[in-house]
Amino acid sequence: MASMSASRPATETLASKAPTDWSGPAMTARIKGRYRSEFVFKYAGLAALVVAALFLVFLLFTIVRDGASGFRSTDVKVTVTYDPTILGIDQAAAKGPGGKQLIEQGNFQGLLTTADTGLGVGTNVVSEGAWLVLREAVIADPSLLGKTATLWVPTRSNFDLLAKGKFDLDAADEARGVNDADIAAYRQLESRGLLKTGFNWTFLTSADSTTPELAGIWGAAKGSLLTLLVTLVLSFPVGIFAAIYLEEFAPKNRWTDMVEVSINNLAAVPSIIFGLLGLAVFLNFLNMPRSAPIVGGLTLALMTFPVIVIAGRVAIKAVPPSIRDAALGVGASPVQVVFQHVLPLALPGILTGTIIGMARALGETAPLLLIGMRAFVTEIPSGLSNPATALPVQVFLWSDDVARGFVEKTSAAIIVLLIFLMLMNSVAIYLRNRFERRW
Amino acid sequence: MSLTVITLLLFGLALVAFTVGRGRAAAFPGAKGGVIAADRPHSRPNYHGAFVALAALAPALIVVAAWGLFSEGVVGDAVIASVPAAERPATPLDRSSFLSEVKGIASGEMEAGFNPATGPAAKVYNETHDTYNLIVGGIAAVLLAIGAIWGLARLKPNFRARNRVEKAIMGLLIVASLVAILTTAGIVGSLIFESARFFNQVSIIEFLTSTTWSPQTALRADQVGSSGAFGAVPLFWGTIFIGAIIAMIVAIPLGLMAAVYLTQYADSRVRSFLKPLLEVLAGVPTVVYGFFAALTVAPAVRDFAVSIGLENASSSSALAAGSVMGIMIIPFVSSMADDALNAVPQAMRDGSFAMGATKSETVRKVLLPAALPGIVGGVLLAVSRAIGETMIVVMAAGLAANLTANPFDSVTTVTTQIVALLTGDQEFDSPKTLSAFALGLVLFVITLILNIYALSVVKKYREAYE
pLDDT attached to residue A1: 39
What is the distance in angstroms between the Cα of A332 and the nearest Cα belonging to chain B?
A: 11
- Count A/B contacts: CB-CB distance under 8 Å: 262
* Dist CA A375 CA A381 (whole Å): 12
* Dist CA A99 CA A90 (whole Å): 9
**β strands within A237-372, DSSP E:** none
- Write down which residue in A180, A210, A240 finishes a domain: A210
Q: CB–CB of B176 and A274 under 8 A?
A: no
Average pLDDT over residues A293-308: 93
Residues 317-336 of A with CB under 8 A from B: 333-335
Average pLDDT over chain A reads: 85
Average pLDDT over chain B reads: 86
pLDDT attached to residue A3: 45
* Dist CA B459 CA B373 (whole Å): 10
The answer on B321 and B398 residing in a single domain is yes
Q: Is B221 exposed, middle or buried (0-12, 13-18, 19+ CB in 10 A)?
A: exposed
CB B294 within 8 A of CB B317: no
Q: CB contact, 8 Å: A280 with chain B?
A: yes
User: C-alpha dihedral over B49, B52, B55, B56, to 10 degrees?
Assistant: -110
* Dist CA A305 CA A298 (whole Å): 10
Q: CB–CB of A273 and B181 under 8 A?
A: no
The answer on B152 and B271 residing in a single domain is no
Between B356 and A195, the higher pLDDT residue: B356
Nearest to B367 by CA among B224, B228, B259, B282: B259
The answer on A229 and A91 residing in a single domain is no
The answer on A296 and A194 residing in a single domain is no
Return the minimum-mean-pLDDT range out of A3-17, B44-58, B66-80, B211-225.
A3-17
Q: CB contact, 8 Å: B465 with chain A?
A: no
* Dist CA A336 CA B298 (whole Å): 58
**Is residue A96 in a domain?**
yes
For residue B70, which residues of chain A lie inside 8 Å, CB to CB? 286
The answer on A256 and A137 residing in a single domain is no
**What confidence tens digit (pLDDT) does each residue in A84-124 have?**
777 777 777 777 667 777 777 777 777 777 766 767 666 77
Chain centre distance of CA A73: 22
**Is residue A379 in a domain?**
yes
Residues 392-411 of B with CB under 8 A from A: 394-395
The answer on A273 and A236 residing in a single domain is yes
**What confidence tens digit (pLDDT) does each residue in A31-72 have?**
999 999 999 999 999 999 999 999 999 999 999 998 888 888
Phi, then psi, of A134 in degrees rounded to 5: -60, -45
The ipTM of this complex is 0.87
Query: Is the pLDDT confidence value at A13 over 70?
Result: no
Q: CB contact, 8 Å: B194 with chain A?
A: yes
Residues 227-256 of A with CB under 8 A from B: 237-242, 244-246, 249-250
Kindly give, in sequence order, each residue whose CB lies less than 8 Å from that of residue B237, ignoring residues fewer than 6 positions away. Answer: B403, B411
HSE-CB at B192 with a 13 A cutoff on CA atoms is: 7
Domain range for B71 is 3-159
Q: CB contact, 8 Å: B260 with chain A?
A: yes
Chain centre distance of CA A260: 31
* Dist CA B406 CA B319 (whole Å): 9
- Write down which residue in A192, A210, A228 finishes a domain: A210
Q: Roughly what angle, to the nearest 10 degrees, separates helices A406-435 and A218-244?
A: 30
Largest CA distance in chain B: 96
Residue from A41, A56, A285 whose CB has the most chain B CBs within 10 Å, to mutate: A41
Return the minimum-mean-pLDDT range out of A14-18, A137-141, B74-78.
A14-18
**Is residue A2 in a domain?**
no
Q: CB contact, 8 Å: B424 with chain A?
A: no
Nearest to A110 by CA among A138, A69, A136, A82: A82
Partners of A198 in beta bridges: A73
Question: Minimal Cα distance from A291: which residue of B?
Answer: B100
Residues B205, B207, B209: CA angle, nearest 5 degrees: 65
The answer on A379 and A237 residing in a single domain is yes
**Is residue A130 in a domain?**
yes
Average pLDDT over residues B296-323: 87
Nearest to B344 by CA among B172, B462, B185: B462
The answer on B323 and B445 residing in a single domain is yes
**Is residue B439 in a domain?**
yes
Query: Is the pLDDT confidence value at A6 over 50?
Result: no
Q: Roughly what angle, to the nearest 10 degrees, separates helices B431-464 and B161-201?
A: 120
pLDDT attached to residue A21: 81
What is the distance in angstroms between the Cα of B260 and the nearest Cα belonging to chain A?
A: 7
Q: CB–CB of A396 and B391 under 8 A?
A: yes
Q: Is B46 exposed, middle or buried (0-12, 13-18, 19+ CB in 10 A)?
A: middle
The answer on A369 and A263 residing in a single domain is yes
Q: CB contact, 8 Å: A278 with chain B?
A: no
Residues 262-281 of B with CB under 8 A from A: 262, 264-265, 274, 277-278, 280-281
HSE-CB at B286 with a 13 A cutoff on CA atoms is: 26
Residue from A272, A386, A400 whose CB has the most chain B CBs within 10 Å, to mutate: A272
Residue B28 carries which DSSP code? S
Average pLDDT over residues A323-344: 94
CATH number at residue B458: 1.10.3720.10
What is the distance in angstroms between the Cα of A184 and the nearest Cα belonging to chain B?
A: 30
- Beta strands B227-230 and A195-199 are unpaired
**Is residue A247 in a domain?**
yes
Q: CB–CB of A418 and B388 under 8 A?
A: no
Q: CB contact, 8 Å: B147 with chain A?
A: no
Nearest to A130 by CA among A214, A73, A49, A208: A214
The answer on A148 and A206 residing in a single domain is yes
**Is residue B220 in a domain?**
no
The answer on B426 and B345 residing in a single domain is yes
The answer on A191 and A94 residing in a single domain is yes
Q: Is A437 exposed, middle or buried (0-12, 13-18, 19+ CB in 10 A)?
A: exposed
Q: Which amino acid is at A439?
A: W
For residue A396, which residues of chain B lie inside 8 Å, CB to CB? 287, 290-291, 391, 394-395
Question: Minimal Cα distance from A246: which residue of B?
Answer: B177
**Is residue A151 in a domain?**
yes
CB A367 within 8 A of CB B415: no
User: Which pLDDT band, with edges at 50, 70 and 90, does B427 fall under?
Assistant: low
- Write down which residue in A183, A210, A237 finishes a domain: A210
Nearest to B236 by CA among B438, B395, B59: B438
pLDDT attached to residue B424: 64
Nearest to B135 by CA among B82, B75, B76: B75
Question: Which of B70, B181, B280 shows the shortest C-beta gap to A258?
Answer: B181
CATH number at residue A401: 1.10.3720.10
**Is residue B185 in a domain?**
no
The answer on B128 and B254 residing in a single domain is no
Question: Minimal Cα distance from A305: which residue of B?
Answer: B180
* Dist CA B374 CA B368 (whole Å): 10
Question: Which of B287, B395, B443 shows the shortest C-beta gap to A270?
Answer: B443
pLDDT attached to residue B32: 72
Domain range for A197 is 70-210
* Dist CA B410 CA A121 (whole Å): 46
* Dist CA A67 CA A276 (whole Å): 33
The answer on B149 and B244 residing in a single domain is no
Q: CB contact, 8 Å: B376 with chain A?
A: no
B66-71 long-range contacts, CB within 8 A, separation 24+: B67/B3, B67/B132, B67/B136, B68/B3, B69/A286, B70/A286, B71/B3, B71/B129, B71/B132, B71/B133
pLDDT attached to residue A12: 54
Between A328 and A164, the higher pLDDT residue: A328
- Write down which residue in B120, B141, B159 finishes a domain: B159
Residue from A37, A42, A240, A417 whose CB has the most chain B CBs within 10 Å, to mutate: A42
Query: Is the pLDDT confidence value at A128 over 60?
Result: yes
Number of separate domains in chain A: 2
The answer on A137 and A74 residing in a single domain is yes
Query: Is the pLDDT confidence value at B108 over 70?
Result: no
Kindly give, in sequence order, each residue whose CB lies less than 8 Å from that of residue A251, ignoring residues fewer than 6 positions away. Answer: none
Segment holding A11, helix H or strand E: helix A11-16
What is the distance in angstroms between the Cα of A155 and the nearest Cα belonging to chain B?
A: 26
Residue B408: CB atoms within 10 A of its CB come to 19
The answer on A196 and A248 residing in a single domain is no
The answer on B355 and B276 residing in a single domain is yes
What is the distance in angstroms between the Cα of A151 and the nearest Cα belonging to chain B?
A: 31
Query: Is the pLDDT confidence value at B313 over 60?
Result: yes
Q: How many helices (H) and strands (E) in chain B?
A: 18, 2
Residue from B177, B197, B235 whose CB has the most chain A CBs within 10 Å, to mutate: B177
For residue B187, which residues of chain A lie inside 8 Å, CB to CB? 269, 273-274, 276-277
The answer on B237 and B117 residing in a single domain is no
Residue from A64, A273, A400 whose CB has the most chain B CBs within 10 Å, to mutate: A273
**What confidence tens digit (pLDDT) does each residue in B200-248 have?**
888 888 888 888 888 775 555 555 545 578 888 999 999 999 999 999 9
pLDDT attached to residue B369: 92
Number of separate domains in chain B: 2
For residue A363, which residues of chain B lie inside 8 Å, CB to CB? 283-288
Q: CB contact, 8 Å: A35 with chain B?
A: yes
* Dist CA A397 CA A392 (whole Å): 9
What is the distance in angstroms between the Cα of A241 and the nearest Cα belonging to chain B?
A: 5
Q: CB contact, 8 Å: A289 with chain B?
A: yes
Residue A437 carries which DSSP code? P
**What confidence tens digit (pLDDT) does each residue in A248-261 have?**
999 988 888 889 88
Q: CB contact, 8 Å: B174 with chain A?
A: yes
Q: CB contact, 8 Å: B82 with chain A?
A: no
For residue A239, which residues of chain B lie inside 8 Å, CB to CB? 176
Q: CB–CB of B103 and A49 under 8 A?
A: no
Kindly give, in sequence order, each residue whose CB lies less than 8 Å from that of residue A215, ignoring residues fewer than 6 positions away. Answer: A203, A206, A207, A208, A209, A398, A406, A409
The answer on A414 and A315 residing in a single domain is yes
Q: CB–CB of A290 and B443 under 8 A?
A: no
User: Which pLDDT band, with edges at 50, 70 and 90, does B25 fall under?
Assistant: confident
The answer on A318 and A198 residing in a single domain is no
Query: Is the pLDDT confidence value at B1 over 50?
Result: yes
Average pLDDT over residues B127-142: 88
The answer on B235 and B146 residing in a single domain is no
What is the distance in angstroms between the Cα of A12 and the nearest Cα belonging to chain B?
A: 25
CB A105 within 8 A of CB A84: no
pLDDT attached to residue B256: 95
